[in-house]
Structure 1
Amino acid sequence: MTSSNLQSYDSDRVRQVFRALSIDKTRLPSSGLTGAGVPSFVAEWLLDKIIPGNGPLSTQESDKIHDFVRKAFPRKDDRNVISFKLTQGEVCKIIALLQVRVRLERGKGEIPDPFATIPVLNLTECSISTDLIERYEALLRQGVWGKISLGLLSDGTPEVIDFDPFQCSKVDLTAYADCRDRFSSQEWRDLMLCSMGYNPEHLAYNHHAKTWMLARLLPLVESNFHVMELAPKGTGKSYVFENISNKVALVSGGKVTPAQLFINGRTKEVGLLGRHDVVVLDEVQSLTFDNPSEVIGPLKNYLASGRYNRSGFSDISSDCSLVMLANIELDADLRPRHPNHLVANLPDFFSETAFLDRFAGIIPGWEIPKFNRDMVAFQTGLKMDFFGEALLSLRQDNRYQSYAQQHTLFDGTATVRDQNAILKSAAGFLKILYPHLKLTVMDYERDCLEPARQLRQWIRNSLFHLDDEFRQYGPEIRIGSR
């Protein structure tokens, strides 16, 4: 047992401090909601509303939530059933993701109406009032989960009559920082892990492993934070991104098109990078493009500047962070086979130094234990919808970047991109671990600066291996605190 596991987790303290914003994490696994395709940030909200309480669900509670899911959550093959009910004059109430799009077309002689889409039912042309859109502006971006009331207009068009959102809308960051003040550094670190869905008391999760698991949150708290995680299968790389917020988009392997990422030249719809706060490309070792130059060129520009253009459109600016997840092979000692060139077995464009240098770092997923059932959180943590929104709300606070700049010393071993990457990572760790900004320089160096340096060092190793240009700086990045 490591020292980081010696202090027991205090669920009572979490409940006392966060009250209605906390939840017993045993509720979700025993509910079966995630198996029904409901993301955690929605499922925990529903559990607390329908069957509030602590501990695993009783048989009666389980029956109640399953009955609710069966009635309220549509499946893809329910489209015809719901369509029939609408033609019979019924108002159908469902729980799903609702998105709103605006199609601008010149020369039509009239201003087009916005239209709503419900992806799970493949309904793409639903009428919706501007009042609802103005009330919930996030519908125009990545969409919002909630209770949708559907009716039918006289011309046969489905209509969104009403909408009740489920997601946390705004976080009081001052109150959040005050709450942090009531926990020790170790207690807060464990609360973050528990809120992510992991058991912080598990013996395999030592201090080192917890640091790299928390690094997965960096793209949420930092704008335009681009990072890779390389790991063997089974470490749960994508779990948090799938479940924390629908402002995070996950694309799993296969083929990625320019229209998906940037902008659709035919429909003029802005792609994932322009609509979400975080885009995650999973299984990138199998990533393919029909025409790589149409993706890699604009992507390199975006990684460097936060802007991209395509199909003759003007530049689109975005603060979206890009995460790339990949499986890598380990040797007999469970270490990477190519420690000085971690991207050796990834698609060729990863080995282009101009591309690789634009990433803030590589999360060493081989340092994170493989995930199994007893690693699931059973303590009280923050509700996932609140937790995700709190992290995302910290993106615009510049105090953490200022702190990092004031307390970090670089020497001649760090390039400008090294420095920028390390400062962003260090500021991100500050937001995750010390949102109240009450810490010593020693705390900063140990918990923020050194992990930030290590993230970037994995990039430096490959750059040093691939290109003589980087050898003038030496193999190791050296930094200090002040």
Structure 2
Amino acid sequence: MDYSNKVKTFFGGKVVRKDLTAQVKGSAVVPTYVLEYLLGQYCASDDDATVAEGIERIRDILKSNFVHRSDAEYVKSLVRERGQHRIIDKISVLLNDKQNQYEADFANLMIRDVPIADRIVTQHRKLLSGAGVWCIIDLTYDHARDAKVRWGIETVKPIQVSGIDLEEYINARAYFSTEEWLDLLMHSVGYEPSHFSRRDKLIQLSRLIPFVENNYNFIELGPKGTGKSHVFSELSPHGVLVSGGDVSKATLFVNNSTKQLGLLGFWDVVALDEFEQEKNSRTTDADLVKILQNYMANQSFNRGNETIMATASMAFVGNTKHTVPYMLKNSHLFESIPQTYLKGAFLDRMHLYIPGWEVRILKENVFSRGHGFIVDYLAEILRELRRFDYSELLTPYADLDATLTQRDKLAIRKTFSGLAKLLYPHRQFTPEEAEELIEFAVEGRRRVKEQLYRIDETFAQQPAQFRYIFKPTGQEKDVETLEKLNLNGSTPEGGAGESGSESGAIAGAEPAKPTLFIGDREFKENQTGVSYRKLFGDYLRGATQITLIDPYIRSHHQFRQLMEFCVLLHELKPLEQEIELEVQTWIDTDKEKDPQKELEKTQAIFDQITESVAELGIRLTVQFDASIHDRFIYTSNGWKIRLGMGLDIYQKPDLYDVANVLPEKRKCRKKFEISYGRL
């Protein structure tokens, strides 16, 4: 069963074609979960005619019932003429203690102090949060001369799914591969998964951890236009996005004048947007930071003599001002946040710092055109999963280093738990999949801690080792942040000697040439600075005969990579020297409709390359061998290099990306290893 049919079979009525959301949205400034609620009502069909009819119906609803601010006076006139009219607007409710009644404010209709029945407020407490809730409202108008209030509220229906079956969701997960499930979640948040690497997908989906994990503290800083705030504003009615410059103690915690609870008392996630210095022209209240710091550590705050416990997660999203290399050399990765928050004790509460600079700027082609969960359904599922703790699933796989503080370990466990709930809600995964989540969690916490060493010298006095024992193999693993790997470069490191036999110096002898590294090197997905020159240059220099074994040289980009390898050989050798290069490869003829034709086509391409590189002094010969599997480079100067993925190590860059002409800027497409050894 293919992906699309599998999704519709197991989640019929709970998924929607994501491109339909863009079709119906038009100019309506309304969250995605509102639109998809309507799509779920009117377009839950595979029949094109039914879908087209449903889209027109939704457009009519948005035209007739959704309130645009520019049309507010017209809508008010309509309600007055009809006496009653159904609208879609965001409302918030306050208690008027002088009148002893609840009153609603309408965000787009711009009418205030409309009486609302106690029964409605009791049923929908989040109306009192102050941030507003999108609802379908039957609004009335009273023409009576003696009416004290003209406007009235007949009914209120918050826009949300009626119910979910968590067990059904968890059981269905077992029928999907991990890659299929990742794609389903990517479609659900609105992105086309084919445009994202595995690590890119994890970064995008990690934005959902605050929705699935109680009291989770998350930060993302990166360039503009990468969708940092999208998840927090569009994908769940249980999260609220507020400007970082507008928050106050009353907004977040308690209004001492009215005793009204703030946002943390009502919402699952409170996200501070535009969390950077230039957006905060006024000085941030130091007491606010202190109270927030205590809440992030203790999950509670005080209201008078009463201590309020809350489960709301905190998310901080903002823009960076400089490139990552600039920040790592001249300041730190928190440099753009407001100065008042640049305190070690506050930042140490962050469980995860995701590298927003790795997220590509959103373009039209990255938005989903496939089936994904109706976001309101997904939001309710994530909310249900908040009741569970998956952190114990880490224990059979990892023994975290003893130098890590309890706060470090808690952060790693909470991130692992959140990712496991998202990707493996059925609690089943392979050791390799567990390792992937562990490394992502450890790296995200290390990014926080290493910047603290720069900001607060008290943290630098007891540095932690971000490593762990991977129990299934007993191997000790050190987890480095990708940006540090990129900054330090990827040239294999030399040692004191290849195997200890060439170390030492003789008095009067000529200085020995630097000894080349022997051993294994691991490279991460999305890592940059990994050019062929850095990987192989010093090992190929001086070789006159080279054998490249790679069974996968079949596609256009793989032929191009072979040509780049030949160009490197040309650049390494004296102009007058010639190099014999033998390439051993294969074509999987079993998968071809016409194997002979495909073989001839491939041979013709190799012939063209052979003729072209001959001008560079590279004598290329090609052998087709069905028995080869592993990838190697053998050189006449005595080196044997095992290639984890052959030459095909890079993601495909965008057409006008500098990575097309600058190999050091290309991203590795997967995690892989290269082993260097002597023949």
Report the TM-score, using the length of structure 2 for normalisation.
Answer: 0.63
Unaligned runs of at least 5 residues, structure 1: 1-7
2:121/2:127 contact within 8 Å kept: yes
Counterpart Cα distance in 1 of 2:450 and 2:90: 42
Unaligned runs of at least 5 residues, structure 2: 472-679
Report matched runs for 1:239-258 at 5 Å.
239-258=230-249
Counterpart Cα distance in 2 of 1:161 and 1:413: 61
Counterpart Cα distance in 2 of 1:143 and 1:173: 27
Report matched runs for 1:198-347 at 5 Å.
198-202=191-195, 205-285=196-276, 286-288=278-280, 289-290=282-283, 292-309=285-302, 312=304, 314-331=306-323, 337-338=327-328, 341-347=332-338
Deviation (angstroms), 1:413: 2.3
Counterpart Cα distance in 2 of 1:454 and 1:316: 33
SS of residue matched to 1:74: coil
Counterpart Cα distance in 1 of 2:82 and 2:345: 59
1:125/1:157 contact within 8 Å kept: no
CA-to-partner distance for each residue in 1:208-238, whole Å, 9 max, x for gaps? 1111111101111011101110111121111
Change (3 A) 1:168 1:306: same
Residue in structure 2 matched with residue 439 of structure 1 by the alignment: 429
Report matched runs for 1:81-480 at 5 Å.
81-88=74-81, 90-102=83-95, 112-141=100-129, 144-152=133-141, 154-202=147-195, 205-285=196-276, 286-288=278-280, 289-290=282-283, 292-309=285-302, 312=304, 314-331=306-323, 337-338=327-328, 341-398=332-389, 400-405=390-395, 407-446=397-436, 448-474=437-463, 476-480=465-469
Counterpart Cα distance in 2 of 1:349 and 1:413: 29
SS of residue matched to 1:279: strand
Deviation (angstroms), 1:423: 0.7
Counterpart Cα distance in 1 of 2:351 and 2:399: 18
1:117/1:125 contact within 8 Å kept: yes
Counterpart Cα distance in 2 of 1:347 and 1:192: 33
1:97/1:144 contact within 8 Å kept: yes
CA-to-partner distance for each residue in 1:376-403, whole Å, 9 max, x for gaps? 00011111110111112211113x1332
Residue in structure 1 matched with residue 5 of structure 2 by the alignment: 12
Counterpart Cα distance in 2 of 1:476 and 1:42: 46
Q: Name the amino acid aligned to 2:309.
A: S
Select the structure that is richer in helix: 1
Deviation (angstroms), 1:181: 0.9
CA-to-partner distance for each residue in 1:404-436, whole Å, 9 max, x for gaps? 355442222211110111111110011000001
Counterpart Cα distance in 2 of 1:401 and 1:130: 41
Q: Name the amino acid aligned to 1:120.
A: N
Match 1:40 to one of 28, 32, 35: 32
CA-to-partner distance for each residue in 1:22-69, whole Å, 9 max, x for gaps? 111111112234x31111111012123234445799887655433321
User: Which is bigger in relative contact order (C-alpha 8 A, separation at least 6)?
Assistant: 1
Q: Name the amino acid aligned to 1:166.
A: I
Residue in structure 2 matched with residue 3 of structure 1 by the alignment: none
Deviation (angstroms), 1:361: 1.8
Counterpart Cα distance in 2 of 1:403 and 1:451: 15
Counterpart Cα distance in 2 of 1:59 and 1:393: 33
Q: Name the amino acid aligned to 1:73.
A: F
Q: Name the amino acid aligned to 1:115.
A: E
SS of residue matched to 2:236: coil
Change (3 A) 1:314 1:247: same
Residue in structure 1 matched with residue 58 of structure 2 by the alignment: 65
Counterpart Cα distance in 1 of 2:384 and 2:133: 17
Deviation (angstroms), 1:124: 3.5
- Stretch moving more, 345-354 or 297-306: 345-354
SS of residue matched to 2:193: coil
Counterpart Cα distance in 1 of 2:314 and 2:183: 26
Q: Name the amino acid aligned to 2:405.
A: T
User: Greater CA radius of gyration, 1 or 2?
Assistant: 2
Residue in structure 2 matched with residue 5 of structure 1 by the alignment: none
Deviation (angstroms), 1:207: 0.8
SS of residue matched to 1:412: coil
- Stretch moving more, 267-276 or 180-189: 267-276
Counterpart Cα distance in 1 of 2:50 and 2:191: 19
Counterpart Cα distance in 2 of 1:257 and 1:146: 26
- Stretch moving more, 275-284 or 134-143: 134-143
Q: Name the amino acid aligned to 2:355.
A: P
Counterpart Cα distance in 1 of 2:467 and 2:180: 30
CA RMSD of aligned residues (A): 2.7
How many residue pairs match? The answer is: 462
Counterpart Cα distance in 2 of 1:139 and 1:346: 31
Deviation (angstroms), 1:244: 0.8
- Stretch moving more, 417-426 or 234-243: 234-243
Q: Name the amino acid aligned to 2:186.
A: L
Counterpart Cα distance in 2 of 1:456 and 1:18: 35
Counterpart Cα distance in 1 of 2:325 and 2:55: 43
2:214/2:311 contact within 8 Å kept: yes
Q: Name the amino acid aligned to 1:423.
A: R
SS of residue matched to 2:112: strand
1:284/1:324 contact within 8 Å kept: yes
Counterpart Cα distance in 2 of 1:261 and 1:137: 17
Deviation (angstroms), 1:12: 1.8
Q: Name the amino acid aligned to 2:41.
A: K
